[in-house]
Amino acid sequence: MPKSQADRDATDSSDGASNASQVGGTRRLLRAVHQAGAPSHDRLSEEINRLNPGKQHDPSELVELSVKMSTRGFFQRRHGGSISWEKKDRGQLAESARKAAPTDALQRAFAAPATPHAASSEATTATSPVPPSVTKSEQAAQAIRAWAARSSRYFSAIAYDFDAQLYKLYLFKHHPVQFLEDLDLVLRLPELPALSYIRSLEVAMDDPAQWKESLYFKLRFLAAQRGDATDSPASLLVRRKPTEVLAADFRPHPLLSPRLLGAVPAREALVNQLGVLLADLPVINDPVVKFTPPVLELSTATPEHAAQAWAEVDYGLNLNLLDPEKTRFVEEQEATLLAIADALGCKSQAKAWLAQIAPFDCFLSYLGLGSDSVTLYYRSTTQRCRKTAPQLIRKRDQPGGAPKK
């Protein structure tokens, strides 16, 4: 018999939450953030729970929320989670994409075709010829089903953005890595999807015919040890500091324009606070850049036209905030986070959000930067590979630590 809502609330996805603490209470955390969200907001966490009984990770390790603060507004009804990360799980994303789809329109679009005729056309993509009788909606459904059915990549994830009304699927490729700085973005434009670290499908929740693919690439993020050194051998190269991405002239590739935070009127105040957040952060994982490539006809585009097209591409950058020496707990970063929100004109909304998530002792996991936005990714768990991770437990909650407020 299916569990009732009350049963699901009581068990809270076996994510390690206890009566004494709400840390790791993923379902309750999601409900606190989504507030009056429909039951469909739970479908992704339910799918993650379905896939992971007794596996390598507790579900609380796999669900990650995010809040986007922008000059355009404050957006918090966003979360995602890992679906698969082992070779034996290749091809699993397609089924999970249907099960986790939060709207009827998406569930229909990701459902397997019901007739032999439809099944025979499943290989159709957005650029393939289609019979005149196939509607635009069905063409789109065939294309997104084919995208989700890719089996060459077995790391996968799904995310919701209920504020932007987007459903997002992710396919990761860890090896071999193609670093963005090394790529000729013009000559290798047709290859970029295959070369990318992540392929991401973004589908409108209520109109699956509206979709696009975004690509993510890692950065080498290296610099010469001496300011006068050029063409330095690898032994003379060192990791750049995370704060370098905050510079007004920072560009992740020579063809891309400096854009990060460029549309924020209070940029200097914002950068100062982000510098506090990034202080002493080691770059353990490669920064990642996201963009949608421009549409270019390489056979006719002049070098000047191609360069201009890339210069106009908007992009975002993500930095990993998981520091083995210093977990950045949200509550301990509250003053900095409120100052960041203030610089973006959404301090009151940020204050309300901080109050909503305070019982869950969340920690920051990633920082995302756009032309006019800052995105903070966060989690609530005390586990790593189903074992207690001391670095994820705030000292106030440990024996001998400071008393809880």
pLDDT at 189: 95
379-388 pLDDT, tens digit per residue, is 999 888 888 8
Rounded to the nearest 5°, which phi and psi values hold at 313? -70, 130
Predicted confidence (pLDDT) at residue 194 exceeds the cutoff of 90? yes
- pLDDT bucket at 283, cuts 50 / 70 / 90: confident
Q: Does residue 178 carry a pLDDT above 70? A: yes
> Which residues on adjacent β-strands are paired with residue 184?
none
* pLDDT in the model for residue 24: 86
**What span, in angstroms and rounded, lies between the C-alpha atoms of 167 and 110?**
12
Q: How confident is the model at residue 290 (pLDDT cuts 50, 70, 90)?
A: very high
Phi-psi sector, 73: left (phi>0), alpha (psi -120 to 50), beta: left
Q: Averaging pLDDT over each range in 33-42, 169-178, 217-226, which range is the top one? A: 169-178
Question: Is residue 149 predicted with pLDDT exceeding 60?
Answer: yes
The amino acid at residue 329 is F
Q: Which residues contact 217 (CB under 8 A, 6 or more apart)?
A: 178, 179, 180, 183, 195, 196, 197, 288, 289
The percent of residues in the chain predicted with pLDDT above 70, rounded, is 83
Longest dimension (CA), the chain: 72
Q: Is the pLDDT of residue 102 over 80?
A: yes
The token pair that represents 39 in the structure block: 């039951």
Residue 151 confidence (pLDDT) above 90? no
Confidence of residue 2 (pLDDT cuts 50, 70, 90): very low
Average pLDDT over all residues of the chain? 86
At 37-78, the pLDDT tens digits run: 666 788 999 999 999 887 888 999 999 999 999 999 999 999
Q: Which residues of 323-342 are buried (b: 16+ CB within 10 A; e: fewer)?
A: eeeebbbbbbbeebbbbbbb
Task: Give the per-residue pLDDT at 232.
Answer: 54
pLDDT the model gives residue 133? 65
Q: What would the pLDDT profile of 103-126 be if each residue is shown by its tens digit?
A: 999 999 999 776 544 433 444 444
Report the distance separating Cα 288 and Cα 9, nearest Å: 36
Q: What is the pLDDT of residue 128?
A: 52
Q: Using one digit for the tens of pLDDT, what is the confidence trace for 344-367?
A: 999 999 999 999 999 999 999 999
Structure tokens at 212: 């696009």
What confidence tier does 239 reach under pLDDT thresholds 50, 70, 90? Answer: confident
pTM: 0.88
pLDDT reported for residue 135: 85
Whole-number pLDDT of residue 131: 59
Does residue 237 carry a pLDDT above 90?
no
